[in-house]
Amino acid sequence: MRLTEKNWLLILVIVGLILLGILFPLNHLDLKSGPIRNRSYSWLNYEAADGGPENQCDCAAILQGDSEALQKAKTLTITKDFQKSIKIPNEYYISASQDCKTFKANRKYVTFPLSRVEEDFPLAYSVVVHHKVQNFERLLRAIYAPQNIYCIHVDQKSDASVYSAISAITSCFPNVFMVSQRVDVVYAAWSRVQADINCMADLYNATTKWKYFINLCGQDFPLKTNLEIVNALLSLGGDNSMESEKMSENKRNRVTHVHKIVNGQNQPTGNLKGPPPSNLPILTGSAYIVVNRGYVRSVLEDNRIPALIEWAKDTFVPDELFWATIQRLPGVPGSKRPHPKYDMTDMNAIVRLVKWQEHEGEVYPECHGHHVRSVCVYGFGDVQWLLQQHHLFANKFDTEIDPIAVYCLEKYLRKKALAQLF
């Protein structure tokens, strides 16, 4: 059959389109020059993603502090139907994650780097969890990026269904793994530190690519997108960020008396402790830190640390002194000298925002949720204030009581993250 000029033209057009498809596929993201501008990623937005009753709320109005939207959300949360329907059983996650491709698509995980800056600056996370799988999974998808790496520590005494559900979720991601050595975490005791150290070791040995380490717990949630977190860490110029201050007198008994685990609680024995090794200045701070890879190497390899570990093991709340003290050791990458001029409060550090009940009305506004151990468990009325702060993460959230706060943060952060693609 003889081809006409019209046939040849049609063939050339088809071949041209095929070649364009090879050279510039629709799903390709050019990380050097930026994304394809006309591609829509609206399928990654959280619009009614979970199908829960919280999607009835007007998050945009809540973020603006609109009184009518806040009142409507308050009315919704106190209904019995709402409280019944917001709790997702652990078995759901075990079942849903059997088909990983569908699970990741339905849960709207971002499976490609959103920018070259983020791809070139991978982060390492340790997440310590003991319950509330629903909280954990929503935290994971909020912070998940394929270039990052995540170590998950589930408390050794957690319910089997909690461990099974979280293990099933992590199995869907090549860069998310369960810690190699679990411990029985006791509140205010050394085991809380050990859980993070075990994850630190696993993360450090897993890859040399990540730049900064961030430790979280299952009831934390981000206040910034991954790009904003990366830019904040780049601005540190290699420094670490954490609370690290001179220990106040009302906390001195934490380190002057020997403590011991009795009936699952870290209690004082009445025996006096000896001075810290080499008379190191002991600082106080937070259990949560943002540190560079060199700091982690020091924790694992510096010959001064084993003696500090042994000394700290029988103190009270050692997680609030261990990291802060290492941060002021000479020679530790990103550290500061142990001089009062370098003291940093939790409000100045960038890692984590906590509303302590005793400071409400003075340092920050009142809690719009409820309190656990004098810490505010945020409600939807706190979200507007939270997003005005410079911290990367906030604690605490509980999606089994008030999922609206997390839902509105999810929608806001995802929309902001996707906006950088256009």
Catalytic residues: 320
CA dist 105 and 112 (Å) reads 13
- Name residue, tokens 């800056």: 117
**Backbone φ/ψ region at 33: left (φ over 0), alpha (ψ -120 to 50), beta:** alpha
Integer Cα distance of 371 and 394 in angstroms: 14
| Helix, strand or coil, per DSSP, at residue 261 | strand
The answer to whether 307 and 277 are in contact (CB under 8 A) is: yes
Give the distance from CA 151 to its chain's centroid. Answer: 11
The pair phi, psi for residue 314, each rounded to 5°, is: -110, 25
Backbone dihedral angles phi then psi of residue 73, each to the nearest 5 degrees: -65, -40
Could you tell me the CA-to-CA distances from 55 to 42, 46, 60, 262, 300 in Å, in that order? 17, 10, 12, 45, 45
CB atoms within 10 A of CB 292: 22
Task: Report the C-alpha gap between 394 and 383 in whole angstroms.
Answer: 10
Cβ atoms of 59 and 407 closer than 8 Å: yes
| DSSP conformation letters of 55-85 | GGS-HHHHHTT-HHHHHHHHHHHTSHHHHHH
Q: What are phi and psi of 292, to 5 degrees?
A: -80, 170
CA-to-CA distance for 371 and 377, rounded, in angstroms?
6
